[in-house]
Structure 1
Amino acid sequence: MSAGMIVLVVLNAAVSVGGMGFAAVAAARPTALRHGDSSTEGERLYAWMYAIRGIPFGLLTAVVPFLKHGPAAVLCLLAAAVVQVGDAWIGVHRHENRQIVGATLAAAIHLITAIAIS
């Protein structure tokens, strides 16, 4: 693996771990991502559902480019990019500039990594 590719897959892993961190924060304290004080039962349920899916998917997205370079790895990274585009759209809807920028950056990194390993 070239030095440039190593940097790219490490960067991809970093943004994946960041996404996992947000999922863990949401599960531990559902109001943290919406800047509130109290949460409802529904918010807690959806925060846990988000974490149950987001953490394993983030781990997969972080690890696969180190192990495999093929169609399955590309598909995983493209799916991660789509998820991040969705997160950016949610940020646009909520007027959360940090969410827009962070998710757009993560989507771009996942997409560039997918192209590089294809």
Structure 2
Amino acid sequence: MNVLLGANAVAALAGIAFAVVGGVRPTALSESGTPTAGERFYGWMYATRGVPLGAAALVAPLAWSGPAGSLILCAAAAAQVGDAVIGVATRKWTMIAGASLLTSIHTATAVATA
């Protein structure tokens, strides 16, 4: 169980890190040269979703065992599924792999702590 909680913490921190990078340097994730106004806008939108959700996924299994913590982890997993689908649509294999791994970790932690 401790290994799973550790993996979940690493996954949550990775999600937070990518959200911050998306907000501060959106071109790092989009791989374009100069960020457009739309890239900056959506980068900040991603950050405002990803940072609080990642922080909740980090704290939830430690603070609330049972249904409350599992619900938060399921929400974090659902957001990662969305990121994986975006990765499929844009053919970004690293995004697909990373988001799929984080989905698996959050889901496994939700089941284990339910």
Report the TM range for the smaller structure's normalisation: over 0.9
Q: Equivalent residue of 2:65, what SS?
A: coil
The alignment status of 1:20 with 2:16, answered yes or no, reads yes
- Give the CA RMSD over aligned residues: 0.9
- TM-score normalised over the length of structure 2: 0.95
Deviation at 1:115, TM superposition (A): 0.5
Q: Which residue of 2 aligns with 1:111?
A: 107
Residue deviations 1:75-114 (CA, integer Å, cap 9, x gap): 1011111111111111111111111111111101111100
Amino acid at match of 2:67: P
1:84 aligns with 2:80: yes
Secondary structure at the counterpart of residue 34 of structure 2: coil
Distance 2:37 2:67 in 1: 40
Q: Runs in 1 of length 4+ with deviation above 2 angstroms?
A: none
How many residue pairs end up in the alignment?
A: 114
Q: Which protein has the larger Cα radius of gyration, Structure 1 or Structure 2?
A: 1
Q: Which runs of 5+ in 2 are unaligned?
A: none
Structure 1: which 5+ residue stretches go unaligned? none
| TM-score (structure 1 length as normaliser) | 0.92
Q: How far apart are the structure 1 equivalents of 2:52 and 2:104?
A: 20
Mapped to 2, the partners of 1:80 and 1:27 lie a distance apart of: 18
- Report the Cα distance in structure 1 between the residues aligned to 2:57 and 2:79, rounded to whole angstroms: 11
| Identical columns (%) | 47
Q: CA deviation at 1:53?
A: 1.8
> Aligned residue for 1:54?
50
Query: What are the superposed Cα offsets for residues 19-44 of structure 1, whole Å, 9 maximum, x if unpaired?
Result: 11111111111111111111111211
